[in-house]
């Protein structure tokens, strides 16, 4: 069903009322299922760029919703230690409804979001060496904490040609920095397989290979 301008205006009225209650001037955009703009409003005092931001966010949410409806799985890039990193993760979980989060180390700053990630069993693709380029540290301690919390954290290479480090290099760096035990390294690999978008049979086969390796290493 097409979204009418009257319905869009009602949505905007509710949004403006909430923003006024919060005493935070904002801009709001309403788009249809295809992401096409129906209505846009900027409250007095809202930043000059907020209408463009509101439109972009509404459009993005509509596109992701359409992708979900067509059967695609969804990931979002939530880079480490950026402005509003935790809010971006919240939007990914609550607004977009992602299946996986790229990077996402800052989720540890929110107990609520951390618990939600664990409840939904979603994965994080953490990239230690690229973290060091961006923030000056690997964030290896955060990887260990995520493992301790039972999160499906994984270690990845990001852009190996650019950062001159492949997955094995990142695993070695994280292990050395955080003192990860063999069992924790194996869990990282199990997590990587579990969050990969693989056919169930392929996933089970790879997990079984890890189990066989663990058993042989222990004998």
Question: Looking at the predicted structure, is the pLDDT value of residue 1 above 70?
Answer: no
Q: From the CB of residue 148, how many other CB atoms can be counted at a distance below 10 Å?
A: 9
Q: How confident is the model at residue 95 (pLDDT cuts 50, 70, 90)?
A: confident
| 96 close to 64: Cβ distance less than 8 angstroms | yes
Determine the pLDDT at residue 183: 96
First to last CA, the chain: 63
Q: How confident is the model at residue 218 (pLDDT cuts 50, 70, 90)?
A: confident
Q: Which has the higher per-residue pLDDT, 2 or 60?
A: 60
Question: Looking at the predicted structure, is the pLDDT value of residue 53 above 70?
Answer: yes
- CA 96/CA 92 separation, integer angstroms: 5
Q: What is the mean pLDDT of the chain?
A: 95
Torsion of CA 219, 170, 76, 26, to 10 degrees: 130
Six-digit token string for 136: 């000056």
Q: Phi and psi (nearest 5°) for 32?
A: -90, -175
Determine the pLDDT at residue 189: 97
Question: Looking at the predicted structure, is the pLDDT value of residue 58 above 80?
Answer: yes
Question: Looking at the predicted structure, is the pLDDT value of residue 2 above 90?
Answer: no
- Which whole number is the average pLDDT over 168-180? 98
- CA 130/CA 102 separation, integer angstroms: 12
What is the three-class DSSP state of 102? strand
Question: Looking at the predicted structure, is the pLDDT value of residue 90 above 70?
Answer: yes
Determine the pLDDT at residue 107: 98
CA distances from 23 to 30, 43, 189 (A): 21, 11, 47
Decide the pairing of beta strands 75-78 and 100-103.
parallel
- CA 201/CA 109 separation, integer angstroms: 36
Torsion of CA 8, 13, 18, 20, to 10 degrees: 140
Determine the pLDDT at residue 147: 98
Q: How confident is the model at residue 77 (pLDDT cuts 50, 70, 90)?
A: very high
Domains 1-71 and 73-219 share a fold: no
- Which whole number is the average pLDDT over 68-89? 93
Mind listing the pLDDT tens digit for each residue in 99-138? 999 999 999 999 999 999 999 999 999 999 999 999 999 9
- Listed in sequence order, the residues at least 6 apart from 136 whose beta carbon sits closer than 8 Å to its beta carbon are none
CATH number of 1-71: 3.30.450.150
Six-digit token string for 198: 């693989």
Place of tokens 């790879």: 206
CA distances from 205 to 154, 193, 200, 201 (A): 19, 10, 9, 6
Domain positions in the chain are 1-71, 73-219
- Which whole number is the average pLDDT over 148-168? 96
- Which whole number is the average pLDDT over 14-19? 95
CATH number of 73-219: 3.20.20.140
- Which whole number is the average pLDDT over 172-190? 97
């Amino acid at each position: 069903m097409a979204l009418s301008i009257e319905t869009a205006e009602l949505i905007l009225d509710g949004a403006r009322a909430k923003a006024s209650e919060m005493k935070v001037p904002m801009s709001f955009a309403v788009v249809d299922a295809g992401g096409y703009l129906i209505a846009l409003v900027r409250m007095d005092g809202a930043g000059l760029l907020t209408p463009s931001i509101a439109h972009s966010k509404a459009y993005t949410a509509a596109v992701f919703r359409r992708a979900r409806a067509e059967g695609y799985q969804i990931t979002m890039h939530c880079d480490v230690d950026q402005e509003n990193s935790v809010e971006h993760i919240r939007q990914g979980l609550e607004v977009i409804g992602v299946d996986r989060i790229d990077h996402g180390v800052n989720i540890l700053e929110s107990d609520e979001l951390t618990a939600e990630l664990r409840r939904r069993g979603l994965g994080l693709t953490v990239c230690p060496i690229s973290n060091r380029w961006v923030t000056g540290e690997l964030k290896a301690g955060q990887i260990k904490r995520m493992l301790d919390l039972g999160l499906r954290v994984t270690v990845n290479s990001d852009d190996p040609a650019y950062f001159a480090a492949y997955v094995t290099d990142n695993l070695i760096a994280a292990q050395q920095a955080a003192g990860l035990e063999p069992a924790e390294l194996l869990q990282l690999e199990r997590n990587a397989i579990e969050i990969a978008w693989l056919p169930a049979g392929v996933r089970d086969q790879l997990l079984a290979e890890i189990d066989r390796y663990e058993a042989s290493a222990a004998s």
